[in-house]
Chains A and B, each alone.
Chain A
């Protein structure tokens, strides 16, 4: 038996006070799950309300947040110091949330003329979406659910599964559109929270959006993006002199060459935020990395995939594949491009690395410390799309004081900023509050979409991580220059 202390959120609906964390000391067996700690707590204090049933991950009754992350209590190992809270849904009492209204938004199959089991191919195409145990975890973390009438990730999962099923009589694409299909920001928080590892964005929402595209339901603003890619190779219009017109195709570092990357610039950094890309190139040069920029590169295709417009996809993929084929390492600094190259392109002949990974792998020259407090916004396509969270923080800590805030989508992804601006704006405003709560003086991030969007929802400067590093190098240079220049009397 192991003795441990866990904190559990207690909430009385009629007491007129907000939820509070209460520590409990419990004894559990080796290998115990959170549920077993809750059993033990309930024995000490029978007033604790919590929900559970099968105890083996099959009924979805017991989802709670453990240290902020949703999980089934019966499957999540319990560790000393754990903080156990209800899912971020309306709380009935203690750990019990109001789950039924959410479950009721999951569509039911309406039988049509076909009564036979579909063929194996069709069954295989929907099988993994049948694993859902309707625990509510995905709904509780979905940013679009928080600010709009989006029916939620698992509701979309079900609509896609029904859409595939020839036995279902309803028009699920129309239903999905009406239930907020285009509100999903592709943040992947649902996948991260799902105890059954269902990739709702890729396996349901993108597929439904592709079906919506075939049916002519693509949002007008998304069609414009697709037209732009067709005519210009880029998904955004130029507002600045594009990066490609400002640089040479090969940029040598300042000192000895320690490495080389081929730079996949992406639409935002080439057309909208070229200065940020130039800052990044300066940081790379300073750290001995040669930057090669294949000029034929085009949009990675992410805006097309996320909005279900797949017709041009093979073409842009082929162009990019060919443009970068000669180089062993391709570097992205746009989180969206990086996630797309890594997850949507298949069998690439080169390695794709985000700039944070490149700088971490080569190691950077120590920068000066700037007397500034910053908070870091995790770009979804970096954090969940590429699993990168610690590297940027390590750099930030070298140059500034870092105050954390909860990782949450800013609203700029998935075509939501263009297609559903009100949803994007509402999420942007939530970021404003979260940023303000940190007391930071600046916001640092590592994605052009986040950078651009958050800048419209905070009064603080929003900086790319490489811009921050560059400033720190410049300060270092100034200091060193000041030290080597004798004071003039």
Chain B
């Protein structure tokens, strides 16, 4: 009983950001591929919005071991070292590949891809195309995708992974008209990106709703380190509707200074050595502390100033920042930007092997929806690199899976039946999804933000669980997806709170006001937090 029949391919890739498209390109070398995109492919996710850059060791004076050391230190040693090794060793090839495919990165004075310093790096390692690096990558990847036989299904959102005898065998999806579609595959790559849209203030695109975490979790996959949410230090704070919009780290990479309302360059109190180019967790906490202690601006931010830089530098290297602030009447060449932390990136995610296999057979994951690469705090510039390195790895692993009989088995049919009943419940529901999501975002900002404690997290979790019990309403079939998305967001929020409660220490982005363990990160007894349908807990490292 499948509307419009089932679509069958060797590999199904879910998500059309940098990781998804890279996975699809790679998988196409091994067989038929369907790329399922919630948005128009290439426009969704956070890759096209990624501004600052892509970390890769390209020059003599740098070395992959330095990149690895920076990534591990920045990640408070919670990273999976095998994943870090893959990242630092393959990021250069992947960026060279993008260049060969036509990416227009900025050029260094001596030729080759230009690189600039980003936070937490011992060498300038961040490749860039002005401050529209991700957009340039996405354009390049879409060009390459067009040269493959990958079938792209636009504006069709996966709502559930389909399981057959413990294997992931495809996904159920809703199209723009609210029709249920079935996509069968021998292997599935989840590349659905992040989910900080569960916070009131977020940099993410509207598609950053954490669908991959929710789909994976419901399919039985294990997730790790879900408490590790990166608050980007610099988000716009006004006007109201633009709050949280990313102000790229490239602003500080180019020499931007952070000032409090007293005009103090306050980073000297928090990290005198690295100053503004400290890691994001440190800078975000510093800004939050300045604001909490009364040295913020009237609107609750701090100043980020590039007025001392030559205007041409701002125009050439930060054109998007210039354009976005000008649109709101602020000329950043002449006046400082007003900024505050904003929820940006989820370091945690599906547990993967270096081959991107999750704990569910047939299911692979890459990009932000996977966990382990960045540990407890991601370095700026490592996410774009991650999309390419692990996108390719996931595509390859999925492509190498053996061919199987792809059919709607009784087990799959039962899942589809359950899904239809869920849809009927939505059509019969009471609460509009936007109402639930609004309350969810405030709850999370309040209880699971930059500074956390047991009581706050527990209260947030209780609030989230209450929201999960509300009966979502779809006005028409076309609104079913909004209900599914709200449900995914609630589940993600729950995972973040639960993982936060599991980790009793301050580690990277996870700042507890009530830590019971105060050992430095490199001597912490704790490993990953883990959550799955089967169990949840925190790994303890035996010493």
Closest CB in chain B relative to A121 CB, distance in Å:
9
Cβ of A61 under 8 Å from chain B? yes
A120 vs B478: C-alpha distance when bound (angstroms):
48
- A61 to chain B minimum Cβ distance, whole angstroms, is 5
Asked whether B100 lies within 8 Å of A111 as measured between CB atoms, the reply is yes
The listed residue (B101, B135, B142, B241) touching A31 by CB distance below 8 A is: B241
Among B43, B129, B135, point to the contact of A53 (Cβ < 8 A): B43
CB distance from A124 to the nearest CB of B (A): 8
Is A403's beta carbon under 8 Å from chain B?
Answer: no
- Min distance, Cβ B381 to any Cβ of chain A, angstroms: 18
Residues A57 and B140 in contact, CB atoms below 8 Å apart:
no
Question: Once the chains are docked, how many angstroms separate the CA of A137 from the CA of B109?
Answer: 36
- Number of chain B residues whose Cβ lies closer than 8 Å to a Cβ of chain A: 58
Tell me if B206 and A52 are in contact (CB < 8 A): yes
A-B residue pairs in contact (CB < 8 Å), sample of 15: A43-B434, A46-B479, A47-B475, A53-B207, A58-B132, A58-B135, A75-B327, A92-B176, A109-B102, A111-B101, A115-B96, A116-B112, A117-B111, A123-B107, A162-B102
Across the interface, B104 reaches (CB within 8 A) one of A52, A53, A92, A130, namely A130
- The answer to whether B99 has its CB under 8 Å from any CB of chain A is yes
A131 vs B319: C-alpha distance when bound (angstroms): 10
* Most-contacted residue by chain A among B104, B106, B238 (CB, 10 A): B104
Chain B 207-260 interface residues, beta-carbon cutoff 8 Å to A: 207, 238-242, 245-246
Contact residues in B for A75 (Cβ distance below 8 Å): 327
Q: Mark A81-99, 1 if CB is under 8 A from B, else 0.
A: 0000000000011001001
List residues of chain A with CB within 8 A of the CB of B184. Answer: none
Task: Check B240 against A29 for contact (C-beta < 8 Å).
Answer: yes
Contact B140–A109 (Cβ < 8 Å): yes
B530 at the A interface (CB under 8 A):
no
Residue count of chain A within 8 Å CB distance of chain B:
52
Complex interface: chain B residues within 8 A of A96 (CB): 176
Tell which of B104, B475, B482 touches A127, judged by Cβ atoms closer than 8 Å.
Answer: B104
Q: A119-B107, A123-B106 are in contact. Are A55 and B245 (CB under 8 A)?
A: yes
Q: Which residue of A lies closest to B140 (CB)?
A: A109
The answer to whether the Cβ of A133 comes within 8 Å of any Cβ in the partner chain is: yes
- Among A37-57, those with CB < 8 Å from B are 42-43, 46-47, 49, 51-57
Residues in A whose Cβ lies below 8 Å from that of B109? 120
CB of B324 within 8 Å of the partner chain: yes
Bound-state Cα–Cα, A110 to B147, Å: 8
User: Which 5 interchain pairs have the tightest Cβ spacing?
Assistant: A31-B239, A109-B102, A108-B143, A115-B100, A29-B240
- Partner of B102 from the list A111, A127, A134 (CB cut-off 8 Å) is A111
Most chain A beta carbons < 10 A, residue from B96, B241, B476? B241
- Interface presence of B113 (CB below 8 A): yes
A134–B101 CA distance with the chains assembled, in angstroms: 19
- Tell me the B residues contacting A by CB distance below 8 Å: 39-40, 42-44, 48-49, 96, 99-102, 104-107, 109, 111-113, 129-130, 132, 135-136, 139-140, 142-144, 146-147, 154, 176, 205-207, 238-242, 245-246, 319-320, 323-324, 327-328, 432, 434, 474-476, 478-479, 482
A389 to B95, CA, bound (A): 49
Which of A30, A42, A58, A109 is in CB contact (< 8 Å) with B48? A58
The distance from the CB of A34 to the nearest CB of chain B, in whole angstroms, is 11
List of A residues within 8 angstroms of B44 by Cβ = 53, 59
Q: Do A58 and B432 touch across chains, with their CB atoms under 8 A apart?
A: no
Write out the residue numbers on chain A whose beta carbons fall within 8 Å of the beta carbon of B479.
46-47
A36 part of interface (Cβ distance < 8 Å): yes
**Contact assessment for B239 and A117 in the assembled complex, using a CB-CB cutoff below 8 Å:** no
Residues of B within 8 A of A60 (CB): 43
Q: For the complex, is A471 an interface residue (Cβ under 8 Å from B)?
A: no
* Dominant secondary structure of chain A at its interface with chain B: loop
The count of A-to-B residue pairs whose CB atoms sit within 8 angstroms is 136
- Taking a contact as CB atoms closer than 8 A, the residue among A33, A42, A59, A118 that contacts B205 in the complex is A59
Q: Report the separation of the CA atoms of residues A339 and B462 in the bound assembly, to the nearest whole angstrom.
A: 66
Q: Are A32 and B136 also in contact (CB < 8 A) when A59-B48, A59-B205, A109-B143 are?
A: no
When distances are taken between beta carbons in the complex, the residues of chain A under 8 Å from B135 are 58, 133
A46–B100 Cα gap in the complex (Å)? 45
**A116: B residues at CB distance < 8 A:** 99-100, 112
Given A75-B327, A133-B135, CB of A61 within 8 Å of CB of B43 = yes
Chain B residue at smallest Cβ distance from A28:
B241
Is A100's beta carbon under 8 Å from chain B? yes
A30 to chain B, nearest CB (A): 6
Q: In the complex, A115 Cα to B135 Cα: how many Å?
A: 20
Q: In the complex the two chains form, what is the Cα distance from A205 to B101 in whole Å?
A: 24
Q: How far is the CA of A47 from the CA of B478 in the complex (A)?
A: 8
Contact B142 A108 (CB under 8 A): yes
CB atoms of B104 and A56 under 8 A apart: no
Least Cβ distance of B136 to chain A in Å?
Answer: 6
Q: Mark A137-169, 1 if CB is under 8 A from B, else 0.
A: 000000000000000000000000010010110
A370 beta carbon closer than 8 Å to chain B: no
Q: How far is the CB of A349 from chain B (nearest CB, A)?
A: 28
CA–CA, A325 and B48, complex, Å = 50
Give Cα A394 to B469, complex, Å.
64
Give the residues in chain A near B432, CB-CB below 8 Å. Answer: 43, 46
Contact A99 B40 (CB under 8 A): yes
Please determine whether A108 and B147 come into contact, CB atoms closer than 8 angstroms: yes
Contacts A31-B239, A32-B239, A53-B43 given; indicate if A58 touches B139 (C-beta within 8 A).
Answer: no
Residues of B within 8 A of A271 (CB): none
Closest CB in chain A relative to B476 CB, distance in Å? 6
- Report the Cα distance A117→B104, complex, angstroms: 7
Q: Give Cα A92–Cα B242 distance, bound, in whole angstroms.
A: 29
A103–B207 alpha-carbon span in the complex (Å): 20
Q: Cβ of B48 and Cβ of A130 under 8 Å apart?
A: no
Bound Cα distance A55, B197 (Å): 12
* Contacts A31-B240, A46-B482, A56-B49 given; does A103 touch B147 at CB 8 Å: no
Closest Cβ–Cβ distance, residue B203 to chain A (whole Å): 9
Are A29 and B241 in contact (CB-based, < 8 A)?
yes
Q: How far is the CB of B520 from chain A (nearest CB, A)?
A: 37
Name which of A49, A108, A162 has the most chain B CB atoms within 10 A of its CB.
Answer: A108
9 further contact pairs, Cβ within 8 A, besides A31-B239, A119-B107, A133-B135: A46-B432, A53-B205, A54-B43, A55-B205, A57-B323, A61-B43, A111-B100, A117-B111, A120-B109
CB-nearest residue of chain A to B48: A59
Interface status of A126 (Cβ within 8 A of chain B): yes
A33 to B482, CA, bound (A): 22
User: Please, which residue of chain B has its CB at the minimum distance from the CB of A120?
Assistant: B107
Cα–Cα distance between A406 and B101 once the two chains are bound (Å): 43
CA distance A22 to B293 in the complex (A): 49
Minimum CB–CB distance for A216 against chain B, Å: 27
State the CA gap A81–B434 with chains docked (Å): 25
Closest A residue by C-beta to B206: A53
Give Cα distance in the complex from A61 to B44, angstroms.
9
Nearest CB in chain A: distance from B76 CB, A:
30
Report the minimum CB–CB distance from A198 to chain B (whole Å). Answer: 12
Complex CA gap A46/B483 in Å reads 12
B241/A117 in contact, CB under 8 A? no
The answer to whether A167 touches B102, judged by C-beta atoms less than 8 angstroms apart, is yes
Q: Which residue of A has the minimal Cβ distance to B245? A: A56
> Within 8 Å CB of B42, what residues of A?
134
Q: Residue on A with the closest CB to B479?
A: A46
Given contacts A31-B328, A32-B239, contact A119 B111 (CB under 8 A): yes
Which one, B96, B146, B241, B323, contacts A36 given CB within 8 A? B241
Set of chain B residues within 8 Å of A42, measured between Cβ atoms: 434
**Across the interface, which residues of B come within 8 angstroms of A54, CB to CB?**
43, 48-49, 205-206
Across the interface, which residues of A come within 8 angstroms of B43, CB to CB? 53-54, 59-61, 134
Chain B residues within 8 Å of A130, by CB? 104, 129, 132, 136, 139
Q: Write out the residue numbers on chain A whose beta carbons fall within 8 Å of the beta carbon of B113.
A: 117
What residues of A have a CB within 8 angstroms of the CB of B241 in the complex?
A: 28-29, 31-33, 36
Contact A117 to B105, CB < 8 A, known contacts A31-B239, A59-B44: yes
